[in-house]
Amino acid sequence: MNSTAAPTRRPIHPPKASASLFPYNPGSLLSASDLTLDAISHILTRASALENQDPLTRDRILAKRRIALLFYESSTRTRTSFELAAKALGADTTLVSSLSSSIEKGESLKDTGLTLRALGAEAIIIRHNSSGAAWLLEAETRLPVLNAGDGMHEHPTQALLDLRTILAHLRPAHLKPATQSVDAETLAGITVTIVGDILHSRVARSNMLLLPRLGARVVLCGPKELLPEMAAQTGPGITIERDFEAALRQSQVIMMLRIQAERLAGLQLDLEEYKLNYQLTGPRLAALAPTAMVMHPGPIIRGLEITAGVADGPQSVILEQVTHGVAIRMAVVERALNLVPNGARA
Amino acid sequence: MTPLLIRGGTLIDPGAGVEALKDILLKDGRVAEIASPGKIKANGSEILDATGLTVAPGLIDMHVHLREPGQGYKETIASGTAAAAAGGFTAVAAMPNTRPVNDSPEITRWMQAADRGASIRVFPIAAATRGSKGEAINDFAALKSAGAVAVSDDGLPILKDSIMRETLAAAARVGLCVIQHAEDTRMTHFSGGVASMNAGPMAFRLGLRGWVNEAESSIVERDIRLVQELRDSRIHLHVAHISTAAALAAVRKARRNGLRVTCEVAPHHFLLNNEHVGMYDTNAKMCPPLRAEADRNAMIEGILDGVVDAIATDHAPHAVHEKEVEFEYAPNGITGLDTALGLSLRWLHKEGKLPIGRVLSLLSAQPAALLNLKGRGTLAVGSFADVVIFDPKAEWTYNARATKSKSRNTPFDGWKMQGKVRWTISEGRIAYTSD
């Protein structure tokens, strides 16, 4: 050994972590980061085509195919929208929720997934309170799995429907709406500010991973208890701005997140102070971002992160987001079942 | 017992400073004679041809979980020690977080009874506090008489200052080491759940609650302060599975100040970092968690510069079904007895150029000294005939399915190993022979 005082760099570099743990089923959608720009373009294009298709021909696309919705958490928007989307394509859906199933008796996620597969499910849409659950389900069943929200981790269809909503308003003129194709410049020059409880938000993570790949700048805004500095390292194109008003001034898109009052209490954050600093109010919006789109993944807590006037106001696209969700989920469900294992579309 | 004559091997006994071709005669469970090759007459002993092989003191793992009593589906003393023997170990120190917790002389004796079917020596570490609840300390003198070699509430910290102070003082009086699981649970347990991986960008990205380095280092610093205040030179504080640069720095400083503060590091903490969690690999989940690359490098530095006193595996077997669950719900821990020697030789010796004697010392002589195991960790004449004989040149690939443990929760499945165990001899009896 050399005996110099300065610590030397040691040549001990065992195998690095591998990028992926197991081959994804190509029909799965687990993370927004799994989607190539081509895949995003394909989903957006199919969403528009399916939305405009005659319901009587559309429901032959997945006629009598079986799709299970496995929900470990309550949900209004996501569950209904996935269910309507699958049914619009003619699929049979069944809902398994943790409170009315053998999950209550202690059945594991693995066994629940294998049971659904044995019952003939060809794809599973999962909402789960624990981060990574969708990966486990896919590893155990090898079925196409659609992640409808896993813990604090990701909610990729929300990011896609948010993207579709943004494009509906801010689509650059030179891009032909008919093709719906996107590239790394599609959202160049656009700043999307995500405000609030970033730490616990799967919507924030999926949007942080999706939007910068299309050229958007993502600004995260919130107090450090809800937005640790390291959030900026999640991917490229992400910055932190603690001052809400400074963030608003730069934004074409403002994405407000739900604040859970009990979570603020747990972190010893004062609710009134939070509202003072981060609530999106009419005067604030009018003064600092009079033309920006106001988004919210829901459920909204009126009077907390957003005032009723802003939620119902002309800049709000909150209900449009919900509508876009059905179209996006039709495309994603179709993709789940119409891809054959080698990755080609059938 | 037929005497064993080990012929033609290279004896490496780091404690005695020996590294030479020697023949060794083992008789009545002890090392009877060491001599130049060919000098010892067979006289009816069984001959082990160790030509080209290394002969060393049997390895000692001072931190394992054998799961008995109470959780035989994960591991038994018989299965765990069989895996240990296959890994070159001749002694293991078994942590007390069994069901029930080993906080009594009865359980301590039960674990060492012949009926357990151990293939090597098991040294129980008894709980420091009743039920490892951190509230009332146990009768250390009685536990030591029953065979306990240290006290620890491993799996949990001894959190309260007053209890830790009392534990250090009482253990010192009977000559036992206090092994601390350094985790300030007030920083790792949240209202919504428990930290399940290292705090940092990776945990944020995966949406998992993070275990901050300070939760370890603040306890180590607090414990060192208590040792300092108590001013009793008999006190021995040992930090289990150290994983952060800050905690290691605190140990280094305490040692410079003349305190008896020691530490162990697990192979996963010097070989893996938190990137190995990948997409929620539960075989990369343990406590303390895999850390950032800077901390991993600090563990390597600590091994090379000598502040790390021992390599210990924290062998923590869990059944397959327990690990095939959501990451946050999976139990902490990985197995380690199969892979400690192969990984240490490959990465510390072959790649890191640490002399083989130093590697073997971290796995035998040094843990023997920490736990005060007389006559072990050395092959001097008269010591226990605890021997590992291995081929130092052999490269092999670890197959977790081939383990003798009941569990196979390891992140090292398929990894290349260096050094293949040929025989493990426990007190003069062959405990393992490779096929």
A10/B277 touch (CB, cutoff 8 Å), yes or no: no
Residue B40 in domain: no
Residue B172 in domain: yes
Listed in sequence order, the residues at least 6 apart from A23 whose beta carbon sits closer than 8 Å to its beta carbon are: none
* DSSP annotation of A258: -
CATH code for position B307: 3.20.20.140
Q: Which tokens sit at A187? A: 């959202």
In chain B, which among 371-430 make CB contacts under 8 A with chain A? 415
Listed in sequence order, the residues at least 6 apart from A1 whose beta carbon sits closer than 8 Å to its beta carbon are: B304, B353, B354, B355
Residue B173 in domain: yes
Containing structural domain, residue B260: 58-370
Exposure b/e, B115-145, CB count within 10 A at least 16 = b:
ebebbbbbbbbbbbbbebebeebbbbeebbe
B348/A12 touch (CB, cutoff 8 Å), yes or no: yes
Residue in chain A closest to B297 (alpha carbons) equals: A10
Residue B317 in domain: yes
Q: Say how far apart CA A216 and CA A219 lie, in whole Å.
A: 10
Does residue A140 belong to the interface with chain B, where contact is any CB pair within 8 Å? yes
Q: Residue B84: pLDDT above 70?
A: yes
How are beta strands B177-180 and B150-152 bridged, if at all? parallel
A132/B327 touch (CB, cutoff 8 Å), yes or no: yes
For position A2, what pLDDT does the model report? Answer: 41
Predicted TM-score (pTM) of this structure: 0.95
Q: Say how far apart CA A333 and CA B282 lie, in whole Å.
A: 29
Residue B385 in domain: no
For position B350, what pLDDT does the model report? Answer: 95
For position B169, what pLDDT does the model report? Answer: 98
B324/A18 touch (CB, cutoff 8 Å), yes or no: no
Tell me the count of A-B CB pairs closer than 8 A: 101
Residue type for A286, please?
Answer: A
CATH 3.40.50.1370 domain position(s) in chain A: 32-154+325-336, 156-323
Reduced to 3 states, what is the DSSP secondary structure of residue A22? coil
Mean pLDDT of B179-197: 94
Residue B419 in domain: no
Residue A130 has its nearest CB partner, among B276, B328, B347, at B328
pLDDT in tens, B366-416: 999 999 999 999 999 999 999 999 999 999 999 999 999 999 999 999 999
For position A170, what pLDDT does the model report? Answer: 87
- Write the burial class of residue B324 (CB in 10 Å: 0-12 exposed, 13-18 middle, 19+ buried): middle
Residue A16 has its nearest CB partner, among B207, B275, B415, at B275
Q: Say how far apart CA A72 and CA A109 lie, in whole Å.
A: 10
Residue B24 in domain: no
Q: Nearest C-alpha of chain B: how many angstroms from A200? A: 7
pLDDT tens, N- to C-terminus, chain A (346 residues): 344 444 445 568 888 876 555 557 889 999 999 999 999 999 999 999 999 999 999 999 999 999 999 999 989 999 999 999 999 999 999 999 988 888 888 999 999 999 999 999 999 999 999 999 999 999 999 999 999 999 999 999 999 999 999 999 987 665 665 568 899 999 999 999 999 999 999 999 999 999 999 999 999 999 999 999 999 999 999 999 999 999 999 999 999 999 987 777 788 889 999 999 999 999 999 999 999 999 999 999 999 999 999 999 999 999 999 999 999 999 999 999 985 444 444 3
Q: How confident is the model at residue B435 (pLDDT cuts 50, 70, 90)?
A: confident
Q: Which tokens sit at B188? A: 């790792």
Residue type for A284, please?
Answer: R
Give the active site residues of B.
314
A231/B204 touch (CB, cutoff 8 Å), yes or no: yes
On chain B, the residues whose CB falls within 8 A of the CB of A151 are 207-208, 328
Q: Say how far apart CA B202 and CA B330 lie, in whole Å.
A: 18
Residue B146 in domain: yes
Q: Number of structural domains, chain B?
A: 1
CATH homologous superfamily of A32-154+325-336 equals Aspartate/ornithine carbamoyltransferase (3.40.50.1370)
For position A12, what pLDDT does the model report? Answer: 83
Give how far Cα A277 sits from Cα of A65, A302, B370, Å.
49, 16, 56
ipTM above 0.90, yes or no: yes
Listed in sequence order, the residues at least 6 apart from A331 whose beta carbon sits closer than 8 Å to its beta carbon are: A42, A43, A44, A45, A46, A47, A50
Residue type for A323, please?
Answer: T
Residue B91 phi, psi dihedral angles, 5° rounding = -155, 145
Question: Is CATH 3.40.50.1370 correct for A156-323?
Answer: yes
